[in-house]
Amino acid sequence: MLLATLGVAGLHWLTNRYDHAVGKQQLLAPAARQPRTDLSRGLNYLLIGSDHRPGANPEDQRSDSILIVHVPAGMRQAYLISIPRDLLVAIPAASGYGGGQDKVNAAYEHGGGGEAGARLLSATLGQLTGLRFDGAALVDFSGFKQVIDLLGGIRMCVDTEVRSIHTKTLFTPGCQQMDGTRTLDYVRQRYDLPGGDYDRQRHQQQMLRAVLDKAGETHLRNDPVQLDRVIRAVGGALTVDTNGVPLEDLLFALRSLPPDALHGVQVPSYPQNIGEVSYVVLDNGGNGLFDAVRDTRMPEWAGANPRWVNRL
Query: 124-144: per-residue pLDDT in tens?
Result: 999 999 999 999 999 887 778
Q: What is the pLDDT of residue 55?
A: 43
Q: Which of 35-44, 101-110, 119-128, 220-229 has the lowest mean pLDDT?
A: 220-229
Q: What is the pLDDT of residues 23-32, one digit of tens each?
A: 889 999 999 9
Mean pLDDT along residues 34-46: 92
Q: Mean pLDDT over residues 262-266, rounded?
A: 94
Q: What average pLDDT does the segment 273-300 reach?
A: 94
State yes or no: pLDDT of 303 exceeds 90. yes
Count up the domains in the chain and report the number: 1
Q: Is the pLDDT of residue 223 over 80?
A: no
With a pLDDT cut of 90, the percent of the chain lying above it is: 61
User: Percent of the chain having pLDDT more than 70?
Assistant: 88
Question: pLDDT value at position 60?
Answer: 46
Q: Is the model more confident about 52 or about 264?
A: 264
Question: How many residues comprise the chain?
Answer: 312
| Phi, psi (deg, nearest 5) at residue 202 | -65, -40
What's the mean pLDDT in 138-151? 87
pTM of the model: 0.88
Q: Which sign does the torsion angle of CA 211, 217, 221, 225 carry?
A: negative
Q: DSSP readout, 212-247?
A: HHHHTSHHHHT-HHHHHHHHHHHHHHEEEE-TT--H
| pLDDT on residue 8 | 43
Residue 257 buriedness (CB in 10 A; 0-12 / 13-18 / 19+): middle
d(Cα 259, Cα 77) in Å, to the nearest integer? 9
Residue 148, domain extent: 2-310
Question: What pLDDT does 19 receive?
Answer: 65
As a whole number of angstroms, the distance between CA 243 and CA 248 comes to: 13
pLDDT the model gives residue 125: 97
pLDDT of residue 179: 96
User: Which CATH number belongs to the domain containing residue 30 in this structure?
Assistant: 3.40.630.190
Q: What is the pLDDT of residue 75?
A: 87
> Over the chain, what is the mean pLDDT?
86
First to last CA, the chain: 40
